Chains A and B, each alone.
Chain A
Amino acid sequence: MKKIIIISIFTAMLLAFTGCSNFLDVNTDPNNPATAPYKMVLPVAETSTAAFYNNYLMIYGSIWAEHFSQNFTSNQYNAINDYNPQPTDFNWMWSESFSGALNDYQFIINEAENAEDWNMYLVATSLQAFHYAILVDLFDKIPYSEGLKGNTGILAPKYDDGQTIYNDLLTRIDNALSKDFSANTNKIIGSNDFVFDGNIDNWKAFANTLKLKMYLRQTKVTNVTAKLTECLNSSYGFVNEAAITGFSDAAGKRNPFYGVNMAAEGLGTDNFRAADVLLDYLKNEGDVRYIGIYKPGPTASGTYKSMVFGDRLNPAGSTLSDQIARGNWKTDDPVYFFTEAMVDFMIAEAKERTGVSGKDDYQAGVRASFVDFGYAESDATALLSGSYVYPTTTLDAKVKAIITQKWIASAIRLPIEAWLDYNRTGYPDFLKASANSQIGGGLLPKRFFFPASETSRNTNAPGQETIDTPVWWAK
């Protein structure tokens, strides 16, 4: 009998454990929320775009726009310096774009549309279009119509061609601008928007500025005159500048490029040295902006020395390394989506292409750039009437002047834009092949490779083109 009692007790104990029907019902994730308000997603989405545009593209842009060259005694960006990047090198920026920024914008767009919150709808649509457009500029083709749909089972999205994507993005922007911004379903965004603190008028201007940029990109392949006029005449106007500020010298709070490339917490070794192409140009022109763009090497006694672009294997390199000037990036540099100078130069080019003089905007751009690099507007005056004087001759001469100045102004800010402009216009016309080019023939890179993470996993990924194959708008 005792045995029966003991066994009964055990059995009862086991039943007590398992008897309640939800004993196995313990699989709800306590570590992560099932969902979050879309407004709370905007900060990280904007920051992802900032990391992409400011870090990855500053690295490629600085070298391929020939503002900087890989340092002799370090090796991080040898492959970029030598025009020999590997498909794996593009994995991070690609995933930061698609699974970091674009998918979050899509979440916000979907939620905002359901909530008829057209303020947020415009912000997220504009930022997503901004990000998509640059990817198209760099990679030529990207997954678009089938992209961002992993949760619906599309695991090998097809690639769409650049023109189709551009057209659709412009349609999306116009659609977002056409919404009812007085509807009472619209919500205030406020400080969750790092760029404009939720100011919707600024976002309308941003959308219009973005359209201007996207139409200008197509000048070589499409007649965009009417569209440029439409942007120039738009009541939304253009942004003065668009940037995320508030970076500081603390872990996880630094300007993304600075945190990775300049801070000791990052690579710990400065890989960038002043290339002769920009530094010597500025010194020859007597343009003081080089002092804002560069800082002297520790053994250069305060002088600004350059290295031959790409010449990282120079035998005297280890001695030279300490003498050559380096970049004047700072930990609290804003991340720019548009700088003031760049907007001015875009307006100048657009005006010229629609038959209106862009001179004032050109000069405003140069002055803004002087201010950006720590000088007064007046410091530009002599040059603007000297060697930087605005041409009066052909459209081509004017475009050359505008784009060359845009190239200078983009240094340590948005150099990727200078490289893209070069691929479109061929200006500045004195860029040269890297001294250590691995592709020969005096060729310059004109596109990025599809990342290895994509080509190895997506059966619809196109084959790689050579690095000197132009993208669709540069053909």
Chain B
Amino acid sequence: MRKLTFLLACLFLVGVGLVHAQSRSVSGKVLSAEDGQPIIGASVVVKGTTMGTITDVSGNFRISLQENAKTLVISYVGMKTVEVEATNGMTVRMQSDALVIDEVVVTALGMRRQQKALTYAVTNVSSEELTQAGQRSALSALQGKVAGLSITSNSGAPGSSSRIVLRGYSSISGNNEPLFVVDGVPISNNATQGTTLFNTIDFGNSVNDINPNDIETMTILRGASASALYGSRAANGVILITTKSGKAQEKFRVDYSGTVRFTNYMPILKYQTEYGQGWSGHFAYDENGSWGPKFDGKNRLWGRVINGQQQYKPFVGQPNNITDFYQTGLTYNNSISFSGGTQKTTFYASYSNITDDGIVPTDVDSYSRNAFSFNGKTEGKWMTVSSSVTYNQKEVSAVGGGQGYSVFNNIMQIPRDFSIVDMADYKNQFNDINGYYTQYGIVNPYWTLNEDGNKYNEDHVYGNLKIEIPLYKSIRFTTRLGDDFYTNRTKQWVAIIQPDSWSQNYGNTEDPGSVSVSSGYRNELNIDAFLTFAPQFGDFEVNGLLGYNLNSRYSNSMSTSVTGLDLPGFYNLKNSSGQPIVAQSYSQRRLIGIYGQADLSYKKMLYLNLGIRNDWSSTLPKDANSYNYPTAGLSWILTETFPEIKKVLSFGKLRGSYGATGNDPGAYVLKSVMVAGDVSMPFGEGVAFPFQNLNSYEVSNTIGNATLRPELTKEIELGADLRFLNNRIGIDVAWYKRNTVDQIMAVSIPTSTGYTSAYMNLGNVQNKGVEIQLNLTPVKTKDFNWDLGVSFAKNENMVVELLDGVLDEVQIGGYSGTGIWAKAGKPMGYFKTSGVRKTADGKIIVSANGIPIASSDLQEYGSFQHDYTMGFTTQLNYKGVYLAATFDFRSGGLFFSRTADINDFVGNNIRTAYNDRRPFVAPNSVRETKNSAGETIYVENTTPIAVSNISSLYSAGGLEGNASYLIDKTSFRPREIVLGYQLPKSLISKTPFTKVEFSVNAQNLFVWLPSTNTFIDPDVTTFGNSIEGEFGEFSSYPATRSWGLSLKLSL
């Protein structure tokens, strides 16, 4: 009861200032002239006084006037202020005022605010921009459009994931993804992936499944001050998605959007085309590499002898064998929606379907998604109820990458003289498991394609119920109950590979077959309740908010796998006598928060924003589970203070803000535990328990920490928004400095401590940067319009400190040989790998064979961080024809490529043909020896690398060792290009259609890469969506390009 009393007390206190003695009462309604919708919260003031009210959810108002008062001043953000004579029952239609920069944007908790009042950077992306190019996902459509927002597709596979980062990586080991909020409800962006070196699978992330046609706007809250009201969930920024709703008093409307898309392999990898099968310069019929002789066109026997027969073919190159392997992928994307509304009730309902079959032959790489969405709202007399629900159902079939028998690993090792498509008949005696030409750890790629599988399906539902009650004057009560849940099921299987004993592959290429299934469930309940009020005191206006938040997240997952199948081709957990390996995990966490915010404005010229949130989290120590996040900001509209400059500067604003957000630890990390016994080893399954019918437990390798504090992100932001010449030129600049301190990490500690890691608070990672958004309208006439946008973002990432003496350096991704690391004084994610040994003056130290010697320690190289990124958007409109394009340029940074590595190893990369594979002396090389005094000295190396050793040279990375596989990440590409035509109204006025539009669109049409990258698209990763994903790729699904035809109809 205490809370209720408090609530009521607030209510009366706030109301007091507005009560006056009055004599005449007038009521009326305020509507938007454009769409007839009621304007909620419009200010109605008696001219010449400070008396006023605001309109309610139906646009209605009632106001009392003194006898002599006649005129009302009605104003609302984004609308032209109206002065009208007060008459009872009046209806006021307000015109929108595009020239005044009174754009309304959605901010934290769904609050609508004037763009100009904001003290921080917020970017809105409209439905139009998201759907123009017919992209399957809104995230892909955002690429290159928002400064400081980095979205990268993990590969060209259907349904593959996107990595999303705002203003750089902050968290060394934790989550770096922004929080996604749909209609006020946080939703999960679950990504089910395999990221081990032997099993890389990407089943996509949930936000990519949202139907972009259902989205009204996406709002990107980049900084901590923008997202502080989300408290401990918002450390990495927030992306708000507002879904479409019906419009009041709009006639029933149907919208259809359809796209058919063709996808092709993007041939980035440059192969040598001169040498064929063999090793060490000699032909060998069973080698999985192109280290053989030069093509001579002569017929040669190759591969296995089967039943006394062997295949022969001319020894010539097959330059397009990889490209030929891939097919044209085909996507159908259809979406239909119905919407409308009466005066009090609106609705929106939609269905959308995507089927996507990728470029790998057969339908093993496919994605299908059905999305249902409903949004409705009704106004009662004293409350408004609205609700939206979305159900996304998807099925993904994915092709695995990585080492072992993966399709990509198999095809990359095929000699350059083989025709891969001719192996498609994988049951043929020369192509099957017994007869395949090599025993070196690979099989026919078509075998893996057809026999193995990785399937996933997910049901994802989220929605909310929102109730708004105007209490007294401007005081309103709002509550929003939201829930987000999904269930998913994964099944992966590997066929038995068992060559017969007569086969030369016997004993080498074997797999007992396996099946693994898993399922997961996650539910997030989120409740917000808040009071808003907007009193006005003379020149001062206040927008206040007091709220309460409850969040509860629960998940569980189970998985079972069996290895050693009995019946071939039957993939069921029953099909093994082996002991199933089972795993089960639960996670539950809860959070309670209270928050308050006050936006004060003075004469619509100065805006002050103050806010605070306090959270109590279940995952923190009980006696220290409360922590708070303050925020403050100030903005000044120059052009209000100096209206005379408006001739040049149509709008000018300076802003500055400070905010804090946080991150509480994961569940169950405060205490050390015992864990089920397991003895794992690299390259093997290890020894699993129960062993000899005994279960066993061991001391967990991770030390819990009962004194953990929440991670804290503090950010200062300064910015300017300047628009010139009637908004024809607009520039928005933001500078920010963000420090994330007290990071919660399971820190790798020396294992001689008896543990491998310990939970700690440590570190300070700083992201400091500038974002510039330039918008130009060089031409604007009745028929022709040209808009141009350039975004530029430069983020300097720096690890300010880790933990002196305890953690000087930490590996954050990669594997033991090559990894990305963090240490104080360097940007997060610099690479370390074993390069080659060099003398102090930089000469390469070679062995007796003249081959560079690998360095015994890991050496430091550059980081994965881009130097800067730029986006270019342009849109030309001429009488309904439009051409729009988005280009994306990312400069600098490194990534690791196993595609480069394996193609060096097998002699397929173009660079392995260097110097015609003749012996050469490693440039600038020396040999290490000892002089008579026993001191180490270096003498010039004169030993050429022998022909037979050239393959050894490249298998060890060439002249730079493993550092050769750290590739420049720079890229420039058109993300999307659209050429469309919207039929003029005059043409369709006699048809039932109100809009007919079609377009040709292309995505990733080409990519420009620096000359040192002849391997793979640097966007591609196989290591997941978090910071580890920036490490690079381990034999990934390749990048693709696509083009499509879209049709949009409205009825």
Contacts and interface: CB of A to CB of B under 8 A. Distances in A.
Interface of A: 2-4, 6-8, 10-12, 14-15, 17-18, 23-36, 40-45, 47-48, 50-51, 55, 73-76, 79, 84, 86-88, 91-92, 94-100, 102-104, 106-107, 142-143, 147-151, 154-157, 191-192, 194, 246, 250-254, 256, 259-261, 263-270, 298, 313, 315, 317-319, 322, 436, 438, 440-441, 449, 452-459, 461, 464
B618 A24 contact: yes
5 contacts: A7-B4, A7-B469, A99-B754, A150-B758, A265-B563
A27 B699 contact: no
A250 B564 contact: yes
A308 to B, nearest CB: 15
Contact of B698 (A41, A251, A317): A41
A252 B751 CA distance: 24
A268 B847 contact: no
A436 B807 CA distance: 38
Given A150-B753, A315-B280, A452-B857, A252 B440 contact: no
A96 B679 CA distance: 8
Contacts of A151: 672, 703, 754-755
Interface stretch (B91-99, B681-689, B888-896, B974-982): B681-689
A36 B689 CA distance: 15
Interface in B779-795: none
B648 interface: no
Given A29-B673, A47-B691, A92-B681, A24 B753 contact: no
A323 to B, nearest CB: 13
Nearest to B563: A251
A251 B688 contact: yes
Contacts of B685: 251-252, 254, 259, 265-266
Interface in B829-857: 834, 847-849, 853-854, 856-857
A300 to B, nearest CB: 13
Given A75-B955, A88-B817, A250 B749 contact: no
A154 B616 CA distance: 32
A150 B705 CA distance: 12
A150 B749 contact: yes
A155 B760 CA distance: 12
A33 B806 CA distance: 28
Nearest to B2: A15
Contacts of B955: 75
Going nearest first, the 5 A-B pairs with the smallest beta carbon separation are: A252-B688, A150-B753, A264-B510, A44-B677, A103-B754
A231 to B, nearest CB: 30
A23 B590 contact: yes
A299 to B, nearest CB: 9
A84 B3 contact: no
A143 B619 CA distance: 34
Contacts of B616: 24
Contacts of B3: 11, 14-15
A155 B758 contact: yes
Interface string B211-226: 0000000000000000
A253 B858 CA distance: 35
B511 interface: yes
B310 interface: no
B27 interface: no
B583 to A, nearest CB: 9
Contacts of B672: 151
Interface string B494-506: 0001000000101
B755 A150 contact: yes
Contacts of B696: 40-44, 47
Given A51-B686, A459-B808, A26 B440 contact: no
A73 B441 CA distance: 11
Contacts of A155: 749-750, 753, 758, 806
Nearest to B700: A32
B913 to A, nearest CB: 20
B1006 interface: no
B668 A10 contact: no
Contacts of A50: 679, 687
Contact of B752 (A18, A74, A458): A458
Given A33-B673, A456-B809, A74 B681 contact: no
A266 B808 contact: no
Given A36-B697, A103-B754, 20 more contacts: A24-B617, A25-B618, A25-B622, A29-B671, A44-B677, A51-B679, A55-B681, A55-B684, A74-B440, A99-B751, A155-B758, A157-B753, A254-B685, A259-B686, A315-B281, A318-B282, A318-B287, A322-B504, A453-B748, A457-B808
Contacts of B586: 30-31
Contacts of A18: 550, 592
B667 interface: yes
A96 B753 CA distance: 12
A55 B681 CA distance: 9
Given A23-B592, A26-B590, A268-B508, A457 B697 contact: no
Contacts of B307: none
A256 B592 contact: no
B881 interface: no
B735 interface: no
A457 B952 contact: no
A6 B467 contact: yes
A84 B585 contact: no
Given A27-B670, A95-B756, A260-B684, A457 B749 contact: yes
A49 to B, nearest CB: 9
Interface string B431-455: 0000000001100000000000000
B744 interface: no
Contacts of B32: none
Nearest to B810: A457
Contacts of B952: 313
Interface in B453-471: 467, 469, 471
Given A30-B586, A43-B689, A86-B854, A458 B750 contact: yes
Most chain B CB inside 10 Å of its own CB: which residue of A84, A100, A260, A263 = A100
A43 B677 contact: yes
A62 to B, nearest CB: 16
Contacts of B725: none
A157 B750 contact: yes
A41 B675 CA distance: 10
Contacts of A15: 3
A454 B510 contact: no
A32 B586 CA distance: 10
Contacts of A449: 856
Contact of A264 (B511, B619, B749, B754): B511
Contacts of B585: 31
Given A41-B696, A149-B754, A457 B748 contact: yes
Contacts of B684: 55, 254, 256, 259-261, 263, 265-267
Contacts of B751: 94-95, 97-99, 453-454
Contacts of B701: 99
A216 B664 CA distance: 55
Contact of A6 (B441, B469, B691): B469
B674 A84 contact: no
